Amino acid sequence: MAGIIHRRLWRLASLRSANASWIARGFASDALATTEIRPGEIGEVAGIPEEHLHRDVIIYSPGRVATQQGSGKVGRWKIDFLSTQKWENPLMGWTSTGDPYANVGDAALYFKSKEAAIHFAEKHGWDYKVKDPHTPLLR
């Protein structure tokens, strides 16, 4: 029984290595080195509608929450979209929006540095404004 399992695992490993070498042979080593990405090109290639390609975003470093004691989660940079299409829903009275990017910034667009956030915005072709963080005076 152990011999059968050993032979099957050996055959599976040899098939994987044969397939991996076959896949790797199809690409040139310098294929990615010669590719240039122009600002805003990623949005055009990704199939994003034209009206969402040149969005206005704000890049800022959010302040600490009132209940936050330590220095964790401080110093990160965030991208928020300026959303315009809001209305009050007549059924429940909630604020509704037709903007697909209205809640994107709340979930995932955090960066370790201001430069990384600026590079990301330029890569996607967004018009950005940078808000410098407010540094409180120590008493």
Number of independent structural domains in the chain: 1
Domain hosting 96: range is 50-64+74-130
Phi, psi of 37 (to 5 degrees): -110, 115
Show contacts of 5-14: CB within 8 Å, 24+ apart. Answer: none
Residue 97 lies in a domain: yes
Whole-model pTM: value is 0.60
Per-residue pLDDT of the chain (139 residues; tens, 9 = 90+): 667 776 776 676 665 555 555 555 555 556 555 566 666 667 667 777 777 778 888 999 887 777 766 666 677 899 988 877 788 888 888 888 878 777 776 667 889 999 999 999 988 888 999 998 877 666 6
Q: How far from 72 is each of 67, 80, 113, 117, CA to CA, in Å?
A: 12, 21, 15, 19
Q: Note whether residue 110 is domain-resident.
A: yes
Residue 82 resides in a domain:
yes
